[in-house]
Amino acid sequence: MEKVYITGIGQVAVGEHWDQSLAALSSKAIRAALKDAGDPQPEIVYIGNFLASSISHQANLGALVCDAAGLHGLEGTTVEAGEASGAAALHMGYLAITSNMADCVVVVGLEKMTDMVGDEIEAFAAQSGDTDFEGMQGLTPNGMAGLLMQRYLDQYHAPCESFASFPITAHANGVNNPFAMYRKNVDLDSYGKAPMVSVPLSLYDVPTFADGAAALVLVNRKLLRDGQKAVLISASEIATDTLAVHDRADPLAFDAVHISTTKALEKAKLTRDCLDLFECWDTPSIYGMLSLEAGGFAERGRGWQFATLDNLALTGRLPVATLGGIKAHGFAPGAAGAYQVLDAVQQLRGEAGRNQIASAQVAMTQAISGAAASVITHILRKM
Amino acid sequence: MEIPRHWRLQKQRLALVGEVCPHCQAKIFPARDVCPECGGEAKTAFKFSGKGEVYSFTTLHSVPAGFEENAPYTVALVKLDEGPIITAQLTDVGEREVKIGTPVEMVTRRIRQDGDERGMLIYGYKFRPVLRMS
């Protein structure tokens, strides 16, 4: 099996890019990534996208993106796994290189949320859940997170404030990231006063939709040049659960997180304490909490005791959202899984600036779609 | 217009018809033709009683297109007496306090409206707190 290396990264800051199309956003990220990689010649482009067909009425992104990036004639196709689409595209790129199908692949996570405004956005976002039996009851992704958080608070007698560690950590780390949408600290006081979105979930517990594009260049060993800053992908694992949460024997178990994490660690031949950082799905904050438990970092029902500001900080036991996470980056759904990997690559290259984790060697990233119906875990190592 | 989809789901939505597994007697909702408990084929129709209790709940203030007329509304995971959990809106709550464990029962209500005032009206199950006998 060929080894897979990330040699280039490029991103557009997540934001409300009213003046930029899907094509413009993707080509900026791809060109930046190729330049960063030393301009190799890619053979395949995988585009992670969730909502272009619904919001921009645009399908066939393979042709659109290759054309826009000046990559005429290349193999290009969309990979969709709800909000985890960016990570799913990386998985496909990983497969193409491990299987020796290609020497060089470009992966881009891409989402354009601002081509439409209004209530339709909520309805489209709900497509990552079960449309017939969840969406048709008026349930949205934030509503689903509210249901799980309510149950968690009741079942484990956890205080609401324990969830604040996720947004407070993400915002603190976003301050120093020029690509983050929110670069201001929040504190426990403002968390407590935030307006409710889906009781008991408040504004700071949920992500903010925006546009974004994040690209990665993958190569095999043959194309790796001496002295090149490269990061090895040690594992890439997708796991699924029932689409509808009500079909699960234990809705708080997040089985797909458990399966995906366990398989990835086995594949990379690593244990949890080898990880220097974890780019978890930090928002909605209940998903961050359940990920820590299902991933085996905290005991069931004790995640809220583990998820202290100290433990999740850059110098803590398990640093998360190290450059702002999804919360401070802004949430471009189909791109978020790619942004997580970009952040981890910056840490492993030692390019995370004031947020640099000292001697970071190993990082795990985890993208979640729906209520953990699809979960995609990557483990990355410094070369 | 999504007429075929709503037609296909009418027995589930209006009569809470699921399935019972002929091998292990597990009750299944929504119908999936394969028993999630034992993996056997399960195509025998089963009508649920519509009684259950709140497993969790949340109130949504920001709602999707088609649901505006009822916003804000409460959605619950309801654990049916026969076993399965389903997702449904709560209705007729009034001043009563909803908690995890509150007994609820199925009623048929208008779920949403497709499109403008000439759009299709979609009816289906919601759940209300069980009314006490006076």
Encode burial over B24-42: b for 16+ CB neighbours within 10 A, e otherwise.
eebbbbbbeeebeeeeeeb
The predicted complex's ipTM stands at: 0.95
Task: Choose one of A223, A249, A271: the last residue of a domain.
Answer: A223
Task: Choose one of A223, A248, A283: the last residue of a domain.
Answer: A223
Give the per-residue pLDDT at A18: 97
CA distance B6 to chain A (A): 9
Domain limits at A364?
Answer: 128-206+235-382
Domain boundaries, chain B: 3-128
pLDDT in tens, A242-295: 999 999 999 999 999 999 999 999 999 999 999 999 999 999 999 999 999 999
Q: Does residue A269 sit within a domain?
A: yes
Categorise residue A269: left if φ over 0, alpha if ψ from -120 to 50, beta otherwise: left
Q: Does residue A228 sit within a domain?
A: no
CA distance A251 to chain B (A): 10
Identify the residue whose tokens are 């004031």: A354
Give the per-residue pLDDT at B119: 78
Q: Are strands A44-48 and A104-111 parallel, antiparallel or unpaired?
A: parallel
Q: Do A138 and B58 touch (CB under 8 A)?
A: no
Domain holding A216: CATH number? 3.40.47.10
Q: Does one domain contain both A178 and A216?
A: no
pLDDT in tens, A328-376: 999 999 999 999 999 999 999 999 999 999 999 999 999 999 999 999 9
pLDDT in tens, chain A (383 residues): 999 999 999 999 999 999 999 999 999 999 999 999 999 999 999 999 999 999 999 999 999 999 999 999 999 999 999 999 999 999 999 999 999 999 999 999 999 999 998 888 999 999 999 999 999 999 999 999 999 999 999 999 999 999 999 999 999 999 999 999 999 999 999 999 999 999 999 999 999 999 999 999 999 999 999 989 999 999 999 999 999 999 999 999 999 999 999 999 999 999 999 999 999 999 999 999 999 999 999 999 999 999 999 999 999 999 999 999 999 999 999 999 999 999 999 999 999 999 999 999 999 999 999 999 999 999 999 99
Q: Does one domain contain both A87 and A198?
A: no
Rounded distance, CA A183 to CA A168, Å? 12
Q: Does one domain contain both A195 and A296?
A: yes
Edge-first strand order for the sheet with A5-15 is A75-79, A44-48, A104-111, A211-219, A5-15, A231-240, A374-382, A362-369, A277-279
Q: Does residue A53 sit within a domain?
A: yes
Q: Does one domain contain both A280 and A314?
A: yes
Instruction: Provide mean pLDDT across the span B73-93.
Output: 97
The per-residue DSSP string of A179-199 comes to T-S--S---HHHHHHSPEEET
Q: Do A143 and B60 touch (CB under 8 A)?
A: yes
> Is the dihedral angle over the CA atoms A3, A7, A13, A19 positive or is it negative?
negative
Rounded distance, CA A44 to CA A28, Å? 17
Tell me whether B64 touches chain A (CB under 8 Å): yes
Tell me whether B97 touches chain A (CB under 8 Å): no
E-only strand ranges, chain A: 5-15, 44-48, 75-79, 104-111, 196-198, 201-202, 211-219, 231-240, 277-279, 362-369, 374-382
Q: Does residue A229 sit within a domain?
A: no
Q: Does residue A230 sit within a domain?
A: no
Least confident range of A81-85, B21-25, B60-64, B72-76: B60-64
Q: Which residues of A touch B76 (CB under 8 A)?
A: 147
Q: Does residue A88 sit within a domain?
A: yes
Q: Does one domain contain both A34 and A140?
A: no
User: Model-level pTM?
Assistant: 0.97
CA distance B134 to chain A (A): 31
